[in-house]
Amino acid sequence: MNFAIIGASGNVGRKTIEILEKSRIPFKELYLVASEKSAGKKIKFRGEEIVIEDLESYDFSKAQITFFAAGSQIAKEWVPKAAKKTIVIDNSSYFRMESDVPLVVPEVNVEALNKHNNIISNPNCSTMQMVLALKPLHDEYKINRVVVSTYQAVSGAGKAPMDELFEQTKDYLENKQTKSKNFTKQIAFNLIPHIDIFDKDGYTKEELKMTNETKKILDEDIDVTATCVRVPVRTGHSESINIEFDNLYDFENVIKILKNTPGCKVIDERKDGGYITPIEAEGDYTTYISRIRKDNSNVKAINIWVVSDNLLKGAALNTVQIAEHLVKKL
């Protein structure tokens, strides 16, 4: 069993390498692939140096499972070619809503892996952490509607935006004029209620991803409305989620269910600091749930706060977990 990573030099690619290094998944060779710009560079893996290969000349038949961590345009061109020779786990948004491509969060809908045409999609990072918390609640009480506001770290946009946050922060503190290259407005000491392009109805593409992907993964009948905000945080997405059930619920049972949710941990003490923030979730495989409370305006609804490392469970970790399940089947 051999693995390959396309986009090995990027944020998600490097996180995938880190996770595989710690993983117990049995595989023989790891091939690292990127653009011509990164080809020839070396990355250490389990005590050895692996030379990055050029995507243009790479032979996809060398690996049985290939992780794509290179964005939608690369996926559009190369995933169909790769899928003729290898099983592709794609982290981009390009194939997510295709009817014959499973969109998978293993703790939520692992059964979707039973049928695929060598292409499997990884959900949007914000969708991922939300459906983890929603799944067991939906199984117990049936969710009617979800209202979510996200507070998304700059690492979700890539390395250049991370660098921009650092540079803007430095310039701002030195009373210098800030420059915005990767964001529509200054990100340092600011919030931007705009992620991805606007649709004709006023929602952004990121917000529509959360709606459409949740329906595909969980249940077409769940109504979802989202507001996605970019915040000056390096890593870790946070979400304020209002969940409305079909019927009345038992609040103590809700807490019990969330405490037993796979991949999640409840940290919810009603005191100063009794909750999780993104800086605490950075580098952690766990998705955290805090601020669990009844919605005082709706007897069928609750509010929760969900935080997760967007580069781990929100991206690289989930792809490796998918691979782990695939290896058992191969």
Task: Enumerate the active-site residues.
Answer: 125, 237
Encoded tokens for 184: 């529509």
Residue 208 CA to its chain's centroid (Å) = 15
Helices (H) and strands (E) in the chain, counts: 9, 14
165 three-class SS? helix
CA gap 54, 60 in Å, rounded: 12
Buried b (16+ CB within 10 A) or exposed e, 193-214: ebbbeeeeeebbebbbbbbbbb
Contact status, residue 188 vs residue 168, Cβ threshold 8 Å: yes
CA angle 156, 206, 104 (to 5 degrees): 80
d(CA 307, CA 125): 11
Chain centre to alpha carbon of residue 72: 15
Nearest to 145 by CA among 313, 302, 316, 254: 302
> CA–CA separation, 10 vs 32, rounded Å?
11
